[in-house]
């Protein structure tokens, strides 16, 4: 029901803007209006439509790449110091401000982990620092686990094979795929091949993703991935140096084949 009934004054009150603003929108055609007795009148549906478009336009843009880089430096300080509160709050805020969880992980969380690994290999950060940082990262990811709307692209299982205890990349890969609308089974790290095969036999899995950290692990994962693909489960293998957006694209490409 859109019978024009509101005066410009009333429309301005409804929208919480100045009378002149409504008048300008009517003159420019942005807000449809009729005329009764020489005065503009506006229909409630037209008013609601302008109100909705205003909300869309005024939604703040998501955090910029620059802000993510700055926040990555803050994240590095927090993870080295074991400051869990700051680390979790920082991620929560970026996601609330419209950043994708995938971008936050890739651009804000991964660089500090790489730096912690470098500091460890230089003998400047001990294993407890690294373990503590890893545990904080697991929890902060839990805080922002995505649950997107819409139809799922398919079911994907994500794991790292026996001998590779780097489960964090599998967690991040799972989250990125979930955010890209996959139904995700996160199987973690250090998974024996025979158990993985049993799992795949008992489920409908459209895609398997194997994360591999070192060169040996990558070699092994490529071999297993080849066999499982031949046996009917398309498998992607990836790891250090590749990114979560790389993974999302590769997974979509498999689905289209
Ligand atoms: C945390 C950590 C650990 C933790 C892991 C905890 C956990 N729950 O995961 C623990 C303590 C278990 C660990 C152990 C070891 N670690 Co460690 N570890 C790290 C550290 C600091 C962070 C790892 C991490 O999570 N990185 C962040 C991830 C998320 O980023 P990424 O690796 O780039 O991964 C991306 C891609 O893999 C992508 N992705 C994931 N899956 C897929 C799939 C596809 C298809 C695609 C396209 C992309 C993709 O997602 C990720 C994000 O973009 C790294 C440092 C580093 N540079 O990463 C060292 C590091 C990986 N570890 C290293 C080493 C040497 C070890 C040990 C051998 C140490 C030892 N002597 O015991 C052991 C090995 C244990 C084992 N058997 O696996 C080395 C590896 C060097 C090498 N050339 O192989 C590193 C690089 C440290 C260093 N600078 O030397 N480690």
- So what's the pLDDT on residue 113? 98
User: How sure is the predictor about 88, in pLDDT bands with cuts at 50, 70 and 90?
Assistant: very high
7 CB-contact burial (10 Å; exposed 0-12 / middle 13-18 / buried 19+): middle
What spacing in Å lies between the alpha carbon of 28 and ligand 1's midpoint? 58
pTM, two decimals, is 0.84
Q: Torsions phi, psi of 127, nearest 5?
A: -60, -40
Report the mean per-residue pLDDT for the chain: 93
Quote the pLDDT of residue 55.
66
Fold held by 8-58: Multidrug-efflux Transporter Regulator; Chain: A; Domain 2 (1.10.1660)
Residue nearest to atom 22 of ligand 1 (CA): 113
Task: Say how many Å lie between the CA of residue 146 and the centre of ligand 1.
Answer: 23
- Distance (angstroms) between ligand 1 centre and the Cα of 85 equals 24
- Judge whether 189 and 164 are in contact, CB under 8 Å: yes
pLDDT digit string (tens) for 97-136?
999 999 999 999 999 999 999 999 999 999 999 999 999 9
Give just the sign of the alpha carbon dihedral 210, 212, 218, 220: negative
Kindly report the CATH class assigned to 65-143: mainly alpha
- Per domain, the residue ranges of the chain are 8-58, 65-143, 155-256
Q: For domain 155-256, say whether CATH 3.40.50.300 is its number.
A: no
Residue 4: pLDDT band with limits 50, 70, 90: confident
Torsion on CA atoms 135, 157, 231, 193, rounded to nearest 10: 20
C-alpha 6 – ligand 1 centre gap (Å): 63
User: Ligand 1 — pocket residues by CB below 6 A?
Assistant: 106, 110, 113-114, 116-118, 120-121, 130, 134, 163-169, 172-173, 209, 211, 213-214, 236-240, 242-244, 246-247, 250
């Amino acid at each position: 029901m859109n019978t024009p009934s509101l005066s410009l004054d009333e429309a301005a009150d409804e929208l919480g803007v100045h009378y002149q603003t409504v008048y300008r929108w009517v003159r420019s055609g942005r807000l449809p209006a009729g005329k009764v007795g020489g005065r503009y009148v506006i229909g409630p549906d037209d008013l609601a439509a302008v109100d909705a478009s205003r909300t869309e336009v005024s939604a703040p843009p998501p955090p910029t790449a620059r802000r993510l880089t700055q926040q990555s430096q803050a994240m590095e300080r927090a993870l080295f110091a074991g400051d869990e509160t700051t680390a979790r709050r920082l991620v929560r805020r970026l996601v609330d401000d419209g950043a994708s969880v995938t971008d936050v992980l890739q651009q804000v969380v991964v660089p500090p982990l790489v730096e912690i690994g470098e500091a460890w290999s230089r003998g400047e950060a001990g294993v407890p620092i690294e373990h503590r940082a890893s545990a904080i990262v697991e929890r902060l990811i839990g805080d922002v686990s995505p649950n997107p709307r819409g139809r799922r692209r398919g079911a994907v299982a994500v794991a790292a094979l026996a001998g590779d205890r780097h489960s964090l990349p599998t967690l991040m890969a799972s989250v990125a795929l979930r955010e890209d609308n996959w139904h995700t089974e996160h199987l973690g790290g250090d998974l024996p091949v025979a158990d993985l095969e049993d799992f795949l036999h008992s489920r409908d899995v459209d895609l398997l993703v194997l994360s591999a950290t070192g060169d040996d692990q990558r070699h092994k994962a490529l071999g297993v991935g080849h066999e499982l693909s031949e046996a009917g489960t398309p498998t992607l293998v990836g790891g250090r140096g590749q990114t979560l957006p790389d993974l999302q694209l590769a997974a979509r490409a498999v689905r289209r084949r």
